[in-house]
Amino acid sequence: MSQVTANMPESASSAPSEQATAELNRTWASPAGFFGWFTHVNHRKIGFRFIMTSLVFFVLAGVLALLMRLQLITPENSLMGPELFNQLFTMHGTTMMFFFAVPIMEGLGIYLVPLMIGTRDMCFPRLNAFGYYVYLIAGIVLYLSLFLGMAPAAGWFAYVPLANDMFSPGKGMDIWTTMITFIELSALTAAVELIVTIFKQRAPGMSLDRMPLFVWAILVMSFMIVFAMPTVMVGSILLMLDRTLMTQFFVVASGGEPLLWQHLFWFFGHPEVYIIFVPALGVLSAIITTFTHKRLFGYTAMVLSLVAIGFVSFGLWVHHMFTTGLPHLGLSFFTGASAMIAIPSGVQIFCWIASLWGARIRFATPMLFVLGFFAVFVIGGLTGVMVASIPFDMQVHDTYFVVAHFHYVLIGGAVLPLFGGIYYWYPKATGRLMSERLGRWSFALIFIGLNATFFPMHQLGLEGMPRRVYTYLETMGWGNLNLFISLSAFVLALGFGLTFLNMWMSRSRGTPAGPNPWDADSLEWATDSPPANYNFRHIPVVRSGTPLWDDAIANERQFVSGLRNDRREVLVTTLVDAEPQAVVILPQPTIWPVLLAVAVSIGFIGTIFSPWGFWLGFFLSFWMIVGWLWPRRPWQEN
Amino acid sequence: MRERFVIDVGDFSRFNPGPQAPVWWGILGLVVIEATVIMAFIATYFYLRLMAPAWPPEGVEPPPLLLPSISVVLLLGSSMTMQWGSKCIENEQYNRFVVAMFTSVGLACTVLMLRWQQFQELGVPWDEHVYGSIVWTIMGFHFVHLISAAAGTLVVGILGIKRYFNPQQKIGVVVDTLYWNFVSLVWIPLYLVVYWVPRWL
Ligand code: HEM
Ligand SMILES: [Cu+2]
């Protein structure tokens, strides 16, 4: 590093006066008050909102799932009719995939990445805020449609021709297509932002090979979003055009192709599963490193397998279409590719096992969730290998076997690590630890409830019970298993509920955490809990892959000086080696992101009713963007 | 624990006119996303064509070539005027810069007017057959992007009149040019797909 001058006289502990620190804190403060709330741009504010909002959607979708289970608790139940049941599973699936799983992973990234790489904010703070409002508005509109009784009802993958206006009249599907386009917009802004922040704002010395695995995982996730989300946007735009402007993309009579929808959807839909899963892998790596107190075994292999998972997952989409009558050779190729993804996943698992082997493991709650992940994910992976083989898939396609499989993968692969992550990082965000006792109870109930709910579904599927049915005949003999499943679902819900209760109560009652309660290795633990507005009093200089542990051994911490306190300055470093390269000034809190989000919403929602809505939104948005980017005086300042 | 300052960034310039500025990477990200969207449209076009018994459908002629070919030339020209604009900023020739921006916008507006005529000449409505649907969609998509690029550059031109830009402070021009080049160059593959594929293949 050229700029490093070995013996600069200034010493960090004596230099900053209280006054300077207070000024820095004011510079990075977010305005208080109701109106102030809409101007926040700080990554921790926005990341926190992403996380909390997606947890709200998790609860909403969970309630819908419980309602479905109530309907299925006995044969020929008359709690609800087929129309409502269709709306419920559509809303449950859509919410869980688009409004919970992806945003919460982005939220974790937005909150944690700048802390982990040692910077004060993300590179485009206002875009961050914009992405959040877009997400929030999309979710609210979707749920309004449910409460108004006109929710979409064509399943979370909205197959045409069912989703065409001939078979799904009414505004439900229009709301689905526009809100899906909308939420993808939010995901894409977050992804670009995360990529650029990770590439350009790492603390000096944090070369790519010293980057925490969690940050790698978020990077891979973001790239996958960039290449996967556009196809579903295109798909839903085409469907929107079919429904509003009478284009004929999916209308067979005019040369349209229903399978086109499936290709566009699953080209996104399969990577989607890994978009959720990859950051969860990052969470697991962070927790395992900390609770075994040693660097993960096989760092390079882990990074390569994360990247490999990212690539291979784009070659798998057709395995969702095995029953559509595609050519045989093609199908065999995709079976092979589906099996191939087992290799990088296997590498991950073996590296973790090697890390856990012989280590002195602390069994705190986050670690319990990690172990739970292992157990559940192995089962989900096994049934995945089963359904990847075509003859077997022909049998169980669209049965409860598949429902069991993907809940094992999604809950085991994403929700358990995520909850582990909540226990792990909660003290950083709030300054207090969550209760271990409640945590253990919560974990136990979730683990039991999850297996009791979803394991019997394999059996139901093999017995032939189709998915997406609102009821079944008594003579089928599925009654007992369904009763058991429905009761277990409530145990599972109770388990999740205990963690939420724990989060609520520990805010004021938890044990104070201090900066580094778990004795972890990465930079987010080098600063206060919760961090001050500026994240780091001085930008740290990184000399290894586990900086906190190695600083302690060397008994020395190194910093960057020269960033001003009176405006929002962050350091830009080079992409590979993270050598200091430039300083940029970030914007202040501002109202424009909300205004733009509202303008874009007017465009999207207006389009449902009239093509003029599009142009209205377009020109409103243009003015908002001009207002947003218009330079503020004084113009010249270095 | 000992604490030391080992790097000082106090005298780094705060003006970052090129790839060291995160916003440059951000616009690159936008371009990559848009390019992926366009790939999806093109893939859709070929998929529909593959599945169709006749492409274009019976009784429809491929659209005439004259206007879109002129557009190619005009758009390439506009990329050059944008390039010239950047040079002018470099050399502190601010009046010429404004001229360059407005010329580019003028070229884009000409292309937009030609495009309006092209829509009439496509010879198919969008709501009768998928062929019409996909052709209209691709053309419309590019149409909207041209409007955005022209509007953005108009604002850059106005800021130029107000003498906002100079050799240090020009990242706005740099990223606007980056986006402009994308919008104008992407017309070439779209042109080949919409106008030549039905003739060649
Ligand atoms: C909280 C516990 C959960 C319960 C009790 C539950 C229950 C259910 C039920 C009953 C169905 C409908 C099955 C059918 O009739 O075909 C369903 C479908 C689905 N679930 Fe869950 N689920 C839970 C969590 C999740 C999570 C965490 C995710 C994803 C991250 C998820 C994603 C889905 C999807 C994508 C569908 C398919 C929807 C469709 O058919 O269009 N679920 N779930
Ligand atoms: Cu898949």
Tell me how long chain A is: 638
Give nearest CA residue, ligand 1 atom 4. A65
Least confident segment among A382-386, A529-533, B72-76: A382-386
User: How far apart are alpha carbons A404 and A604 in whole angstroms?
Assistant: 36
Q: How far is CA A593 from CA A132, A556, A598, in A?
A: 9, 42, 9
**Alpha-carbon torsion angle B100, B101, B107, B111, nearest 10:** 160
Q: Check: CB of residue A334 under 8 Å from CB of residue A340.
A: no
Ramachandran region of residue A590, left (φ > 0), alpha (ψ -120 to 50) or beta?
beta
What pLDDT, in 10s, does the model give residues A307-347?
Answer: 999 998 888 888 788 777 777 767 777 777 777 888 888 89
User: How far apart are alpha carbons A357 and A322 in whole angstroms?
Assistant: 40
Residue type, A479: G
- Please tell me the number of the ligand nearest to residue A67's CA: 1
Mutate to test the pocket of ligand 1, among A403, A471, A472, A485 (most ligand atoms within 8 A of CB): A403
Ligand 1 neighbour A156 (Cβ under 6 A)? yes
**Domain shared by A453 and A392, yes or no:** yes
**Domain shared by A468 and A354, yes or no:** yes
Residue type, A180: I
**Domain shared by A525 and A613, yes or no:** no
Residue B2 lies inside a defined structural domain of this protein = no
Tokens of A478: 């599925």
**pLDDT band for position A638 (50/70/90)?**
low
Q: Which residues pair with A233 in a beta bridge?
A: none
**Domain shared by A397 and A436, yes or no:** yes
User: Which structural domain, as residue segments, surrounds residue A570?
Assistant: 45-535+543-589
B40 lies within 8 A of chain A by CB: yes
Per the listing, tokens 């004929």 go with A248
A246 vs B contacts (CB less than 8 Å): 126-127
Contact check, Cβ <8 Å, B14/A622 = no
ipTM of the complex: 0.94
- Please tell me the number of the ligand nearest to residue A384's CA: 2
Give the count of alpha carbons within 13 A of B4, CB side only. 15
Residue B108 lies inside a defined structural domain of this protein = yes
Q: How far is the CA of A92 from the centre of ligand 1 (A)?
A: 6
User: How far apart are alpha carbons A261 and B47 in whole angstroms?
Assistant: 11
Ligand 1 neighbour A440 (Cβ under 6 A)? no
Number of domains in chain B: 1
Q: pTM for the whole thing?
A: 0.94
Residue B176 lies inside a defined structural domain of this protein = yes
Q: What angle do CA A548, A551, A555 make, to 5 degrees?
A: 140
**Domain shared by A602 and A562, yes or no:** no
A245 lies within 8 A of chain B by CB: yes
Residue A425 lies inside a defined structural domain of this protein = yes
- Of A15 and B145, the structure prediction assigns the larger pLDDT to B145
User: How far apart are alpha carbons B136 and B131 in whole angstroms?
Assistant: 9
Helix, strand, coil % in chain A, rounded to nearest 5 = 65, 5, 30
Backbone angles phi, psi at A154, to 5 degrees: -105, 20
| Of the partner residues B1, B134, B164, the one whose CB lies closest to the CB of residue A557 | B1
User: How far apart are alpha carbons B66 and B63 in whole angstroms?
Assistant: 9
Q: Which of B197, B74, B182, B184 is nearest to B135 (CA)?
A: B197
**Domain shared by A560 and A623, yes or no:** no
B8 vs A contacts (CB less than 8 Å): 3, 5, 8, 560-562
User: Which structural domain, as residue segments, surrounds residue B142?
Assistant: 22-200
Ligand 1 neighbour A93 (Cβ under 6 A)? yes
Ligand 1 neighbour A543 (Cβ under 6 A)? no
Per the listing, tokens 């914009």 go with A130
Residue A27 lies inside a defined structural domain of this protein = no
Q: At what angle do helices A43-71 and A479-509 cross, to 10 degrees?
A: 150
Contact check, Cβ <8 Å, B1/A10 = no
User: How far apart are alpha carbons A174 and A182 in whole angstroms?
Assistant: 12
User: How far apart are alpha carbons A472 and A87 in whole angstroms?
Assistant: 18
- Please tell me the number of the ligand nearest to residue A267's CA: 2
Number of domains in chain A: 2
What pLDDT, in 10s, does the model give residues A418-455?
Answer: 999 999 999 999 999 999 999 999 999 999 999 999 99
Helix (H) / strand (E) element for A583: namely: strand A580-585
Helix (H) / strand (E) element for A569: namely: strand A569-573
Q: How far is the CA of A352 from the centre of ligand 1 (A)?
A: 29
Query: Which residues, in sequence order, are CB contacts of A290 under 8 Å at separation 6+?
Result: A424, A518, A519, A520, A521
Tokens of A131: 């992405």
User: How far apart are alpha carbons A387 and A334 in whole angstroms?
Assistant: 12
Residue type, A370: V
Q: Check: CB of residue B2 under 8 Å from CB of residue B156.
A: no
Residue B10 lies inside a defined structural domain of this protein = no
User: How far apart are alpha carbons B16 and B22 in whole angstroms?
Assistant: 9
Q: Please report the pLDDT score of residue A371 as a whole number.
A: 94
User: How far apart are alpha carbons B148 and B164 in whole angstroms?
Assistant: 21
Q: Which of B1, B3, B27, B147 has the most A C-beta neighbours within 10 Å, making it the best mutation to test the interface with A?
A: B3
What does the DSSP 8-state code read for residue A258?
H
User: How far apart are alpha carbons B138 and B135 in whole angstroms?
Assistant: 5
Query: Coil, helix or strand for A573?
Result: strand
Q: Check: CB of residue B121 under 8 Å from CB of residue B63.
A: yes
What pLDDT, in 10s, does the model give residues A86-117?
Answer: 999 999 999 999 999 999 999 999 999 999 99
**Domain shared by A315 and A411, yes or no:** yes
User: How far apart are alpha carbons A54 and A419 in whole angstroms?
Assistant: 13
User: How far apart are alpha carbons B131 and A254 in whole angstroms?
Assistant: 9
Residue type, A504: W
Residue B14 lies inside a defined structural domain of this protein = no
Residue B52 lies inside a defined structural domain of this protein = yes
Q: What is the mean pLDDT of residues A184-206?
A: 96
The nearest alpha carbon in chain A to B55 belongs to A255
B59 lies within 8 A of chain A by CB: no
Query: Which residues, in sequence order, are CB contacts of A73 under 8 Å at separation 6+?
Result: A482, A483, A486, A487
Q: Please report the pLDDT score of residue A569 as a whole number.
A: 94
Contact check, Cβ <8 Å, A123/B126 = no
Q: Residue A443 maps to which CATH number?
A: 1.20.210.10
User: How far apart are alpha carbons A176 and A185 in whole angstroms?
Assistant: 14
**Domain shared by A462 and A604, yes or no:** no
Residue B107 lies inside a defined structural domain of this protein = yes
Low-confidence stretches of chain B (pLDDT beneath 70): none
Q: How far is the CA of A338 from the centre of ligand 1 (A)?
A: 23
Ligand 1 neighbour A593 (Cβ under 6 A)? no
Q: Please report the pLDDT score of residue A380 as a whole number.
A: 83
Ligand 1 neighbour A411 (Cβ under 6 A)? yes
A629 lies within 8 A of chain B by CB: yes
User: How far apart are alpha carbons A562 and A5 in whole angstroms?
Assistant: 14
Ligand 1 neighbour A155 (Cβ under 6 A)? yes
Per the listing, tokens 């495009």 go with B115
B128 vs A contacts (CB less than 8 Å): 248, 254
Give nearest CA residue, ligand 1 atom 38. A93
Report whether pLDDT(A2) > 70: no
**Domain shared by A495 and A603, yes or no:** no
Q: Domain end: A558, A573, A589, which one?
A: A589
Report whether pLDDT(A8) > 60: no
Q: Check: CB of residue A548 under 8 Å from CB of residue A520.
A: yes
**pLDDT band for position A14 (50/70/90)?**
very low
**Domain shared by A553 and A625, yes or no:** no
Q: Check: CB of residue A405 under 8 Å from CB of residue A384.
A: yes
Q: Residue B140 maps to which CATH number?
A: 1.20.120.80
